[in-house]
Amino acid sequence: MRQLRQSLPTGTFVLGCLVILGLIPIVIRYLNGLGAISNLSDGRPWGFWISFDLYCGVALAAGGFTLAGVVYIFGREKYHSVARPAILTAFLGYLLVILALLVDLGQPWYIWHAMIYWNIHSPLFEVAICVMTYTLVLALEFSPAVFERLSELNLPVIRRFNWHIPLRIIRAIQIPLVIAGIVLSTLHQSSLGSMLLMMPHTLHPLWYTPVLPLLFLLSAISVGPAMVIFESTLSTRAFGHELAIDVLSGLGRAIPYILGLYLLLKLVDLLVAGELGLIFTAYPINLLWWTEVIIGVVTPIILLSRPAIRQSRRGVFWSSVLVIFGLVLNRFNVSMLALGMRPGFTYFPHWMEVAISVALVADALLVIWLSYRFLHIAEHGEAVAE
Q: Looking at residue 2, what is its pLDDT?
A: 47
Q: Are 289 and 206 in contact (CB under 8 A)?
A: yes
Q: Provide the pLDDT for residue 382.
A: 41
The total of other beta-carbon atoms located within 10 Å of residue 347's CB is 17
Instruction: Tell me whether residue 249 is in a domain.
Output: yes
Residue 147's contacts (CB-CB under 8 Å, 6 or more residues apart) are 163, 164, 166, 167, 170
* N residues, the chain: 386
pLDDT above 90 coverage of the chain, percent: 60
Distance, CA of 189 to CA of 274 (rounded, Å):
27
Please indicate, yes or no, if residue 351 is contained in any of the structural domains: no
d(CA 307, CA 315): 10
Query: Is 278 domain-assigned?
Result: yes
Closest CA relative to residue 84, chosen from 313, 243, 317, 218: 243
- Nearest-angstrom CA–CA distance, 277 and 133: 42
How many other C-beta atoms are found inside a 10 Å radius of the C-beta of residue 205? Answer: 16
Selection from 222, 233, 252 nearest residue 60 by Cα:
222
271 part of a folded domain: yes
User: Quick check: is 12 in a domain?
Assistant: no
User: What is the C-alpha separation between 140 and 78, in angstroms, rounded?
Assistant: 23
Name the nearest CA neighbour of 147 among 128, 169, 129, 132. 169
- Count up the domains in the chain and report the number: 1
Give, in degrees to the nearest 5, the angle at Cα 332 between 345 and 359: 95
Radius of gyration from C-alpha coordinates of the chain: 22
- For 243, which DSSP code? P
What is the structure's pLDDT at 4? 40
Strand partners, 339: 203
3-state secondary structure of 212: helix
In a domain, 265, yes or no: yes
The per-residue pLDDT for range 155-205, each reduced to its tens digit, is 776 666 778 888 899 999 999 999 999 999 999 999 999 999 988 889 999
Instruction: Flag whether the pTM goes above 0.75.
Output: yes
Other CB atoms within 10 A of residue 107 CB: 7
pLDDT per residue of the chain (386 residues) written in tens, 0 to 9: 444 444 457 778 888 899 998 999 999 999 999 889 999 888 887 889 999 999 999 999 988 889 899 998 888 888 888 889 999 999 999 999 999 999 998 888 888 888 898 988 888 898 999 999 999 999 999 999 988 888 887 777 666 677 888 889 999 999 999 999 999 999 999 999 999 998 888 999 999 999 999 999 999 999 999 999 998 888 888 777 778 889 999 999 999 999 999 999 999 999 999 999 999 999 999 999 999 999 999 999 999 999 999 999 999 999 999 999 999 999 999 999 998 888 888 899 999 999 999 999 999 999 998 888 888 887 544 433 33
Write the pLDDT tens digit of every residue in 5-55. 444 577 788 888 999 989 999 999 999 998 899 998 888 878 899 999 999
Domain assignment present for residue 21? The answer is: no
- Which domain covers residue 261, as residue numbers? 199-340
